[in-house]
Amino acid sequence: METLRERLLDWMRVGSGFLSFDEAARAVFQHQFERNAPYRAYARSLGKTPATVGTWQQIPAVPTDAFKLCDFPLSCFPTENALKVFRTSGTTRDVRGEHWMSDLSLYETSVLEGWQHAGLPVPTNPWFLSPSPQEAPDSSLVHMLATLQRHHASGTSGRWMIDGEGRIDLSLLANEDRPVTLFATAVALLRCMESGKSLPLPPGSWIFETGGYKGLKVTLEPEAFRDQVSEAFAVPRDKLLNEYGMTELSSPFYAWSNEDRHRGSPWTRIRVIDPETGLKCETGQIGYLEIVDLANLDSVAAIRTQDLAIARDERSFTLLGRDPRALPRGCSRRSDDLLSRS
Amino acid sequence: MNPTDLRIRALAACNDLLEPWIGPFDEAALRSLIACQLGSGDVLDEWIPRGDTRCRAFPLSPLLHIVSGNTPHAAFQSVVRGLLVGSHNRVKLPSSGLPAFESWIEEIPAGLADLIEVRRDLPDHWLKSSGAVVFGNQATLETFRDLLPRPIPLIEHGPKLSIAVIFQPDEVAAGLVATDILSHDQLGCLSVQTVYVDGTPEQVRSFSARLARALEMARPAHPRGVVSLSDSGAISNARELARFRAANGEDVALWESEGNTGWTVVYDHEPRLRPGPLHGFVTVHPLPSAALLRDCLGPEVRHLSTAAIHPFQDALADRLDALEIPRICPLGRAQKPPLFWHHDGRPPLADLVVWKDRSP
């Protein structure tokens, strides 16, 4: 009998296996309710069980911070059987969120099929302003980039331009004369520009950019940042692709810089919640983004992010990021709730 | 009548407007404050014999005040102190303003009005003041450390938090601590964010439930200020984490307002002190033994401003010695410091003057 994982893979690849998103979502929720004890306990405390959840909208979302509670791993299998664990970024003193994987087939299929669904150009000549998979084995982002390289440019090597000490070296890229795809975090791009190492890329190149500005002394508006990147790397503004993803998810969302919304794959859904009431926002209302990602079979499909957004439809949203008013102010100490991704 | 007496008289004339922000006072109290702080009530106006020399205190003037928008207390207290010593006060308000303070400025007597300038921007020449008092978060402090030319005296009041310690967890305590939590929507450094209760886990849980009822009853009398989406989001996130831990068998419990984030109580057996999301969110923990207190509460202890205790007895206050808290006060008074208090352990007036001597 075909396992749920196999059915999901078929569904993601060829669209067969489930009649509707709701059918798949209910199956994934039942799977996770039965196997993921911490999630089951939480869902029960909210009165949510497979018997009471009829649609994806009713699946309870866990806050990303719950992935940091290492006594309660949000995993559908014993973590000692994990093939991989992805961890959120942070220093050795920080508590890092952990996303356990028993198998990478759904994660990698989601990356590759999602790329195709989004209609993105095939990155046949990729360069990575990132540490290599060997240097960052627990980074979900680096694994995603390596998956894309393996699939689309398997003959390439030596393309990882940040070493284990965080040093940036673009000397090989400087010799490139064919159009490239430069994959980078926003932080790495900024560091590159600030240190004077940015260089004009060959005509026809484009840039994949992801992540926020955590850890930087300088806070830049995304628009100003992209203007700088466009100029520093000689890449047209509309050839900057922003990826929205996080360690706790398996599926990315994409928006070109001239688009007003990030779009997800058919196996994802989004909803925007008013945090004051916990209710779903009205059309056009700003709230907190929740994502249902059915490729997250081994953990929890429904994730509550700490980003503000406006829902555009069931699979797309306008990302507003963190509320600037959330910056600590006044003389009172308050909790810090930064979203992180490695 | 010397200039200091004139300023004292003018401040006392504003008693009704100032009392909510700096506590009850009269002319005698202001004179006494100067005398206590500077050693003599006349030392701002004349040369006073002191041992083998004569000395006189001169105010830092002009004195720059950078005040934050979370509560007006700091602005009132800082400026009144500056006026008392005779500084010319330059007050930089937050860009959103500070209505209560600005109302007072509109009605201030002429003798004091000449000593105050108020703006929402920061002209360059204000940075060339003789001293500065800065209230704000770490980023604000760092900004002004960079902006202000050395070596002008900089008096910093960075982000702090306060706690309540309850040795007698009764109904009275619940009502008093609710006031300490909800006043000014919990946005001040004197706002109680965490409550420690001396008792068994069952007693502490029981007090948490009592506190939840007290907060529910008190909330209407303490309206919330502007609560941003992120403020609500931080509260909602903290609630869900507590619910998650409780559902998974940790010794944690949650009480919350329905349909909004107006108030929240989280009972948590783990006593570590952590700043919360504010706006009516409080955690309640069993009080660790005196020997373990500092270690159990963790590194956040160094940011403590006030502990409000119940009942208010020196012997009980002494039990908190290990925490080295600058101020211990009765429960219900956390956000109402008296005129003579040492904010963050600093002298209220002595920091605002320089001394000159005429020695034989």
In order of their start, the domains of chain A are 4-103+263-310 (3.40.50.12780), 107-244 (3.40.50)
Helix, strand, or coil here: A227? helix
**What is the reported pLDDT for A90?**
67
Report the run of H or E that residue B307 belongs to, with start and end: strand B304-310
Residue A325 has pLDDT above 60, yes or no: no
**What is the reported pLDDT for B198?**
97
Residues of B in contact with A333 (CB under 8 A): 159-161, 189, 193, 275, 300, 303
ipTM of the complex: 0.91
Residues of B in contact with A277 (CB under 8 A): 259-260
Reported confidence tier of residue A17, pLDDT bands at 50, 70, 90? confident
Residues of chain B numbered 50-109 and touching chain A (CB < 8 Å): 68-71, 74
**What is the reported pLDDT for B309?**
98
Q: Is B191 on the interface with A (CB under 8 A)?
A: yes
Tokens of B85: 């010593």
Q: Decide: B261 and B235 in contact? Cβ < 8 Å.
A: yes
Q: Decide: B216 and B257 in contact? Cβ < 8 Å.
A: yes
Cβ pair B248:A331 closer than 8 A: no
Cβ pair B68:A287 closer than 8 A: no
Cβ pair B275:A335 closer than 8 A: yes
What domains does chain B contain, in order, with CATH numbers? 3-159+340-358 (3.40.605.10), 161-325 (3.40.309.10)
Q: Decide: B22 and B14 in contact? Cβ < 8 Å.
A: no
Residues of A in contact with B274 (CB under 8 A): 335
Pick out chain B residues at pLDDT < 70.
Answer: none
Of A62, A276, A334, the CB nearest to B275: A334
**What is the reported pLDDT for B139?**
85
Q: Decide: B155 and B134 in contact? Cβ < 8 Å.
A: yes
* Burial class of residue B303 (count of CB atoms within 10 Å of its CB; 0-12, 13-18, 19+): middle
Higher pLDDT among residues A216 and B132, named by residue: B132
Among A78-92, A214-228, B295-309, top mean pLDDT goes to B295-309
Cβ pair A332:B70 closer than 8 A: yes
Mean pLDDT, residues A254-275: 96
**Cis link prior to B311 (omega < 30° from 0)?**
yes
Residue with tokens 């506190």: B211
Reported confidence tier of residue A223, pLDDT bands at 50, 70, 90? confident
Of A63, A277, A332, the CB nearest to B189: A332
The pTM (predicted TM-score) of the whole model is: 0.90
**What is the reported pLDDT for B225?**
80
For A5, residues 6+ apart whose C-beta sits below 8 A from its C-beta are: A103, A105, A106, A297
**What is the reported pLDDT for B188?**
86
Condensed to tens digits (0 to 9), the pLDDT of residues A113-133 reads 999 999 999 999 999 999 999
Cβ pair B240:A66 closer than 8 A: yes
Q: Is B264 on the interface with A (CB under 8 A)?
A: no
- Phi and psi angles of residue A35, each rounded to the nearest 5 degrees, phi first: -105, -20
Mean pLDDT, residues A183-195: 92
Give the dihedral of Cα atoms B93, B96, B101, B106; nearest 10 deg.
90
Tokens of A194: 């600030």
**What is the reported pLDDT for B23?**
87
B148 to chain A nearest CA, in Å?
A: 19
Interior/surface letters B101-125, b for 16+ CB within 10 angstroms, e for the rest: beebbeebeeebeebbbbeeeeeee
Cβ pair B137:A337 closer than 8 A: no
Tokens of B242: 């507590």
Residues of chain B numbered 267-296 and touching chain A (CB < 8 Å): 274-278
Residues of A in contact with B232 (CB under 8 A): 274-276
Largest CA distance in chain B: 77
Least confident of A44-53, A289-298, B42-51, B70-79: B70-79
Q: Decide: B17 and B23 in contact? Cβ < 8 Å.
A: no
